[in-house]
Structure 1
């Protein structure tokens, strides 16, 4: 992953003081072209990396790559951790590297660098057609800074019905869900999630965030996303599927499928979720050769009616 490489390159610069693209390429087993792009990306992210031309040239870290990384300003340290440390994207290796890097940062920078690394979740799978664009929403940077700084914010917010309200929130983290952006926040009514493109105004306060004990953004978002998926697909169908039909079933229903244990006859227990009984029956009607619905009876009834209609039309 690119985030792994960016952290690895920075640590190489810290350790050696200067590196060349061929050295980076050899150590990380990438092409020289990729190494140059990554070195340029560090500079574009605000990290004080600069190139030295000539026979003895290469890339250097401003400040000589000292052990305490004092060449980094607070905002530059935050920029690095935002680029390299999204909580859902970082591998165990990059998380370990980030922990080492935190220990090398000057004390005043550590807290905000750690906050930046854990302030963002990237969830690439979108929720259907959300109407959102790939452009970052207007108040994204302001809200992410509030998360990192640990301060409350006053939001103007437009709900699904078009009603605008104002509320005080305690920003806990930012989530990129497909093309949409969300802020997870603590409120007087408990944990809430707000779509950032519906935020109409933001006023950051000087009041500190009240962070729930042992809060973890990744775990919290998993709970939120699971509950949201269940609300969107409230119908739960229990069935037995022949092994040779599992691939067709997965193609038909995608992530709304849970595969269980195999029975003595070789068939596999499955749970399928969908938004409506008739809709899920329609999806499953073409799989009757491999699939036997056990419950609910209402879905079985829909399938029987669909079967009768097919027979009447095509016999």
Structure 2
């Protein structure tokens, strides 16, 4: 995009002092003529770029000019190298075969490049799961176009219960949560979140909409996430855990949360409180550990676990005898 290229030119000139038309064209992978047009555009909007002729000539910014980009601290620059995985950038169409951090590194002042490279070599963010199952978003490009152009979008959406519905929405932004994308949109003035992989199709509308004046995507998402967590169902179970499975509980999965752990008792068992989404999840989880986890409360849960265990035994005994 031209706006990005103009900003890059300013960054290059601020960091390197002076560059020729050819040097800028090579860095930005455009023609010399394009650079000359860009310089005219910068001059038109008041950016003081000047051309010096001769063997040591080139483009430079007037000495008394300083843009807001120059106020980046070393910590700011280092932080730019710690951004989400390349997969997310590829989803958005913002990354080609060359890692954009290479270009960013080249644009930094020489005295900061070593620190930025050190940060890059020491911290890597991977948002994928161990068993990666990337969700496909059928109309991702259309969704993005609607967001950038503030145009209404008609989507064919699959709800959590499996029912499919048509929705006319005003798309406001995309949020990556782990390796999943969510579309934040307004419908009849109400903000809603749509899981992007459940959007089976999307049709861009000619009609535009006015973006809410005080809407801030990151702030909204954090508030929405907090509300979602607070409203999650909770079913707590007090248990005692055998020593042989304590480590497995410590690194437990998403279906259970360890709310409280106490010191081991005389038998070496660990008292704890586990939180599940609902009772059925608790029953199935407890049954999976057999005699290595003892339910303390609620007592009625013991009968339900025993009942399920008996049904499983009966089922397999019947199956093996047939």
TM-score (ref. length: structure 1) = 0.47
Q: Normalising by the residue count of structure 2, what TM-score does the alignment of the two structures yield?
A: 0.47
